[in-house]
Chains A and B, each alone.
Chain A
Amino acid sequence: MTVPDDVTRLLAERFGLESGDPITVSRDRVVELGGALKEAGFTYLVYVACAHYPATDAEPDRTVAEYRVRRLPVDEVAFRVWVPTGESTPTLVPVFAGCDWQEREQFDLVGTIFAGHPDLRRIMLPEDWEGHPLRRDYDIATRHHPWR
């Protein structure tokens, strides 16, 4: 999916970012970018998805959160933000109401922490579950208490 021209201009002039699929943005500007895209007509939230990357020699243990928004009918932009484990990224719930459940699901399964989220509880797993199963270091055979 190619990024539309007006978004490329917006990114270069206001944010000093390179266009791409996905666009990488820093944590302190992700809310501003989401708001600017919504003003530019990208009002449809497609998904929020996170993935976990264990620590390497170059990078610490971290997760990536990717947001994809769409301007109907076809234009689509994805932007992502890197979140080191133990730190948080600001929530986009004030911009897109749909981020509520999407970010909750990703917090539950991947463990990314969204600061300022109004209701950051587990949504898929039981409230007393330990760990986040979609992290790469979570063993699929992890034993849990038998009464669960």
Chain B
Amino acid sequence: MAKCYALLGWSLPVIESMQKLGKPYVVVSFPDFQAYAEENNIPFVPYKFNEWSDTSNSLDLLEKLRTFDADVAVPLFEETVEWAGALNSIFRDDPRVLNRAFLFRNKAMMKRKALIGGLRVGLFEEVYNKEGVKKFMDRLNEANLQIDGEEDSWVHIKPFASAGTVGHRLLKSKEDIDRKCEDGDFPCLAESHLPGTEFSCEAFIHGGKIRFLNITEYVKLGYSNFIPEGHRLNSKRDRIMNEMQKLVNIFGIQYGMIHPEWFLTENDELSFGEVACRIPGGHILELASKAYDFDALGAFVCCHDPNLTEEELNELLPPLDARPSEFYGNVMIYPRKNQISQLVIPEELKEEPYFLDHTLVPPLTTQKLDTREGFGNHFGTVNFKGEDPDRMRELLLHYENVDFYQ
């Protein structure tokens, strides 16, 4: 059993889970959180993850963690993945753990690895400027046998190392490239558009084996998702499981949780999108906890511990073949105007049997909104629960387009 988990990042629900499970832990995060941590008796090491120097590096952090006897590092934020990798490679005495962490932080490297291992991926390339994207689009058009006057093939660009939808742009034409790309976007990854239903998996891994697999159905990327997966994806569960284990093997992941995104086409072709190994966005673990009735955050942390016993694992995780009868979904609400003055909860929502709860807060008097980064900061979430996944999808699509803020 781990002597002490070093939690890199900041998440109150994770800390609460650790307290409830009675596991030893220390939180490593930005100095801003120190006062709160002291006030609430949270073991804490202040550290500036965004600084890398002679006095701010993993060896230095390791020293600071010694007093806590930490022996497992857990990344909570995207930005702490390399830090956790570096620490764990020392804890486990395996330098490749760090290399693996880099794999998660470079989307081009990640794709190459997947391709080498035999997963289906889109066409991708590292690009350095707008011209590069245009040339990429040209080659893609060529490969797709474009005839004069036909529309361009769609291209996505993404920063190498950002979480979720931050910096993600969909480019549908050459004009789009000129209009939407900014100099600051480069260098980055360009890739062809993958068609199909998008979903994510949350695989809890121990000893290189998937011990529990959740599938999250995306209704609209960045806006809404639900758990467990609907009927169609569920019928492919075995195939997905196989591909997932393949991914785990290719990447050589031993401990922790991975959160990849996949695309399933109408002809049942499965393509790999990208993968992360921190807590996923979209409140996914919150939904999973409810749907499967387990402590997903606690399990996420504990899976990082190589010394976790089989009994403990069985206690923490739902059975591999668990299939909840009720679906939990949410839709993230973004204001749709530049200036908002009030929150309006529609009557139909109050009367909706699937409606569970919401975390929407009224705006401060008349609030002007910052420009959006990625999909921007959502103002809150509306949660649903019900027995029919198709009805769930319908509701999530509907409420994504409702103006909660006016």
Check if A and B associate: no
Interface residues of A (CB under 8 A from B): none
Interface residues of B (CB under 8 A from A): none
